[in-house]
Structure 1
Amino acid sequence: MEPLDKAQVLLKCDLCQSAALQSHCELCQINLCKACVGEHLSDSSQRHKVVPYKYRFFAPYYPKCPDHTNTHCEFYCEICDVPVCSTCISSDKHHSHKFTDVLKKVRSKKKEVEKDLEELEKRIYPAYEEITLDSNSEKVNFENHYENLTTAVAKQEKNLHREINFIVNKQKSEIDEMKNEHLVALNEYEKEIKQIMSDVKQSINDLKKILYSNDVSLTSVYRSRNAEFRGLPPKVNVSLPRFSPHQINTEQLHQMFGSLSAITITKEAHGNTIKTPEAVSCPPAKPLLNVAEFITSIQTKYNFLYNVTCLRDEEIWTHGEENIMKLYNLRGEVLKSIKTKSGNNPRDTAVTRSGDLVYIDIYTSTVNIVKNEQIHEIIRLQGWKPHNICGTTMGDLLVTMDSYYGEHSRVVRYSGSTEKQTIQFDSEGKSLYSYGYTKDIIENRNLDICVADYEAKAVVVVNQAGTFRFRYTGYSSSTARPLDLIGIATDSQSQILISDRKNNCIHILDQHGQLLSYIRNCDLHLPWGLSVDTKDNLFVAEFHSHKVKKIKYM
């Protein structure tokens, strides 16, 4: 036993609490006397590693496995980026993953720590110390400068006070007159708006009367006034007066003190027709183009093209009706080809926050990730078949899926292979999503979860917590056929873009679900998958033409 100084307290065994300790179990992290070592080792429910007490700091401490009691994590899963035990390695959760010795991983991490420590101590911290010294020096100059300013202001105040009262009172009076003039203009504008609102309200009442009346004459004479109401009246635009002070000269004080610029009141027409109250209160930072502009197209080599996903502004992942996913540049050159692990066609693809490609294999009910051109299974579903997937800003994955038994649909959020959240019902217990076929999914910039529900012919949007926000079903009068919503994307303004396959157009919604515009030109034909790059350029995958079209719409 390691010798103890007389001034030290005799250390006792953790089990019997009476005899002096002699040994230490590295895995259980307890101290033992000679008699208790045998008793401790007799517990065969877990492994033990007993060493002399003085060597207790030389061996590594393996953390306990959170999933398997009484086992320690001696390995490291490179895919999930977590320590694991020997039982974890053979589980479905880590099926076909790559493992290393946890100590090897720790040594690698410690090298990173050493580099960071050296940088912090020798470069970063000294740099901050230098900044602090400079800041203290600036504070001295700071105090002197503001003291001089205060002295100058006090001196100017004394000089002005003798002559200022008359001029101040005169200009206050002018300001009051301008304020009243401004108020009159605003009141007139408000009166005009209220009159239009009254007309709109009357129109609403008239339309309701027509809808609930059997009087043919009322319906036959009806003429829509909606076009009249869509345009906002000219906005009152006031150039606010400014005060321009001059240097003081006692003899010419009235002339040199300064003057107020004249007020001008004009009316300026709005650039856009109003769409919804939300669009007026929260206009997008980038206005939509009246007509979208075709930029370029990339010809892919698929029989049928399903999806496009932006990896970077100049590189796009694609997949179609074959078991290969291809990375193209905008010149149409194939940079990389990845064949699915099972040989099945991928159901959907996405890119994670770290830039890794993930894809769904509906036939094996799995989600797979491609790292360094090696495919690893990260999620295997039981009783559910996955349809579509997207990455989130927090690094999670959102997966839409249907049940094998019973007609149930849901959205599940995963962190790695761990299920974090399930979204299935609204506040009344009704299913949010229809059963069957594709349900493309995207996370909006405001963290809403948006699903293009093909069977329901609707876009269903919930917030980050899974609470229902709105459902968009389009306007049948504006399309030649029923809506056929198949692909979905979002941009920097939290606008939602949906491909309407049979109507050959793209719907653009604001973040509250109000229709802003359509993209009908650019010779779109059976648009399917959508993706938006960091510059808000839209990429459209066309099913039959096998082309990916790049379109500017903002």
Structure 2
Amino acid sequence: MAQHYLVCGTEDCKRNCQFYCNPCHQRLCERCRDEHQESPDTKDHEVVPYKQRKPQLPEEKCNLHPKRNVEILCKECNVPLCAKCIFMKEHTCHQLDDLEEKYAEKIAFCRSKISKIQEYYLSTSQDLKKEIKEDVMEIKKTMDDIRNSIRAEADSLKKLVDKVTSDKLEEANKIEETLLKTLNSQEKTYEDYTEYLEKLLKEFHSYKSFTNFRVLFSEDFDKLKIQSIPETTQLVLPVFTAGQFYKDDVSKLLGSVNFPNTKPDNRRIKPMENASTQLKLPGKQTRRDAEKSDVKQTLSLSSSVTKVREYTVPGVDRVYHISLGKSGRLWFSDCYGNLVQTDLQGNQVQKIKTSGENGYHTVTQDGDLIYTDRKNKVINRITQDNTITEFIKTGDWEPLSIHSSRINGDILVGMIKDKEAKVTRYNKTGKEIQNIQRDNKEQELYKYPHYITENINGDICTSDFNKQAVVVVNRSGEHRFSYTGQGSVFYPYGICTDLLGHIIVCNGYSGNNSLDIIDQDGQFLSLLLTPQQGIRLRGLCVDDESHLHLGQFYIPTVTVYKYLQ
């Protein structure tokens, strides 16, 4: 039977063993240890904590003297001997060691190696294996993106071929129209000439009558002449010259899949000296990731929010949405299409009129602002020199919300059409690469996605007013969870995420306004602001200093809070 704890080896003592006598190879409790060290026979014995004990030499019989146990080691022959063996000729003058001491050293060496294997080599290799599994998922995701890009290139080329085909057919139609117009004109010329000849023929017939005898000798009759037949040109018909193209030409148009000319880095293995304190292998990180990681290690959610400052936004009636630009500059909008940029001091830099309402603008990695035009079904771009250009056409779909990824520059757009809704991903050049509309049970994910953002793990977080939920899907478009608030009614408006992966959303239900914060797995953490504080919330964003900017519903006021410590 296994013991639930190690007991003292002294007869009739059942107390917990804490110590060990190496010469006696006996387990001792604290009281028996004291008695052991006070006894004249054992007071000089080496008594140590149990974990530091020396192993007892097993009873191993000598090969040459079967009745004796081995207890000596011949250092030069490296073989265990019994006491009788040392007088044999082959071990004469050899150096001898206490076999028990050497056995203890070997066992200690084994324990050391076992410890290193368990604490370092095994854990490190398991972490590397885990990293490889993560790389497998990353490869699959990368290849899915590449396949989507190839399909997007092919669709773009097909659309271009269709457009060129349409233009050339239109050109052929115009050529045909011009040629037929010329031929119709020539036909009319001969119709007029035939009519003239028929009239002249009648006139000459009339002159054959006796009644017109005298007319035959008049000046008018002498002037009668037959007009010559009109000349027309025969048209040259057009010919079609077929284009010359080959498979390689089409392949070049669709791009290529290749590896960058970069030498792969070795997987990072933690130093041996850190093995005892650092059992987790760090993943692959860029310098920016490392800096973020350092910040994340120093930040945590505070138990309460602290008001830092408050400011008024010029040029808007209320604050429905906030976009963070480069160098800390902010863009603000209301529900009337007023879109304003301010400098760091809060002064208005520019103002434009749009048709947007809610989360309809975002700043790209390049620092340009892009915004949806629901009425014209396009996405516009404002470059940093204030030039406005049409960027993406969304076809039959009305674009509502938009977000530019800080991870890869992709553009996420929430759209509606009739009673349908979806999220579309474009790459940074504006090519459509993904559509997310239904879950794995073919149920509609969205109804009215009027705010959208992305988390640090690549999840797409959408504030859906008609669903009364925050809908979160992963990069592949698979539904992860939906958050429906803490009260009986939840109407989500502005939404944003932070460095820790928190999802922060405004509950805009009248009389129950709150600011909810959940983790990246959908678990509710806290209410940063409660209905009792009486603030009607709409737009929000987290700035580079991890301060939360909150816009209000009825007034153009933004309050800045510190919510992390």
**Which TM-score applies when normalising by structure 2?**
0.46
**Which TM-score applies when normalising by structure 1?**
0.47
